Chain A
Amino acid sequence: MSFLTDPVGVSHFLLVGAVMFVCGVVCMATKRNGLGVLMGIELVLNGANINFVAFGSKYLRSESLGLDGQLIALFVIVLAAAEAAVALAIALNFYNNHATIDVDRADELKG
């Protein structure tokens, strides 16, 4: 079991980020509930954040991004909060006007 004792590198963090990103993309594509789509977006942004933090960590590489990675991760967290607030307001508006949260029913603008 050498992989349990070897120190982890950036690649291991990138793999976790990739799994979360793909889960978010699949979640966005398959969920019919509008709030499920929002949860997929949160997963995607979080997967990206893991990559930024991993590349900014000086425990993993000597030539790291340093504080840049952590600062960009903080900006992404704030943007995710703002995006969730607006998207939730839109979803609630949609629910109030159409009495459904199914994204397949949001086809009024369809040509």
Chain B
Amino acid sequence: MSPLPISRRALGAGLALPFLARAAHAALPARRRFVVIVCRGGMDGLSVAAPLGDPDYRPLRGALALGDDALRLDSTFALHPQLTAIHALARAGQARIAPAAATPDRARSHFEAQDVLETGAGGVYAAPSGWLNRAVGALARQGKVEALSVGATAPLILRGPAPAGSWSPGRTIDAAARLPSLLQELYREDPLLGPALARGLATETLARETGAGARGMAGPRAGPAQGREVARGLGEALAGFLTAPEGPQIAAVSLDGFDTHANQAAAIAPRLAALDALVDGLHAGLGPAWGDTVVLAVTEFGRTARANGTGGTDHGTASTALVLGGALKPGGVIGDWPTLRRQALFEDRDVYPALDLRSLEKGLLAEHLGLDRRTLDTLVFPDSAPVKPLTGLV
């Protein structure tokens, strides 16, 4: 698949051939960008995209059912009223929903399900690194590729052998201080701290150049009222990185707070507003580069189809995944809608998992980033050959 007459391997490993490295870089789909948003806590898919046209929706949901202010997608689905930017994208053919998507995990535990979601494995603790990290590793064999996570801690989805940077808003470092280079010397033999610091310093330099630092600044005490602004700023800052000449093409962001066991209507609105603002900030910040971008928003599991006794919902199975970006082909709902008929519910309580999230992820990695089927079936999503990539998305 390489356009080069001779492969790099044939020339011998370890040989420094900068002109070849440049050529290999060109072999990667030009400046394609891929962003994964992990919505933690078990995002209620039926609140993201409500099946207003499903006759069982209102009886099951009662007071939690979305009303007339929901944003219509088609004759069945409507987005939560807070998702205005995403709705506008959907109308432009740049946002689609997968309303019954799930990982292969069925334990309804946040922590196990997040592990499976992020490792991309068929079961819990089956892989020690994240699928996005392994995808970066596979892409790196074709050419230079950078990855970045946003937040104070590194999410599992980007942890692993392939180097990935991380960034969170804050002060920029004093470029004149000697400390960074003294520490790099002290960490030379340290397999954990050495590479991490080098990468962190490189990201800081990039942040200074793109002005991301100033845009991402937000007080740690920001209340929900400011949540939308903060999330938008974060989206714009991330876009700054993604459009920088030496910046990352792959990124992961986490949004917390989706575990809505009680008083869900009030609890979920600001979280969805933040999700919408993050996407809006990315869209605005990327400018023309939005056309080469795909954004995937996923959660570890959906919630019970019925409202529980405390105005909320408990841990469930399938949820709604969102696929966005200027690189998408327009289209309707992704995957089947199993409906909310009682016989169709999973274990008489949850939205039935009609789509394995890995097919969606594989499809995007294949069509958008050019990863081959074998790599996807074995390396990125181990032992997943029966899970076919979903095609026609990009």
Q: Do A and B bind?
A: no
Residues of B within 8 A of A (CB): none
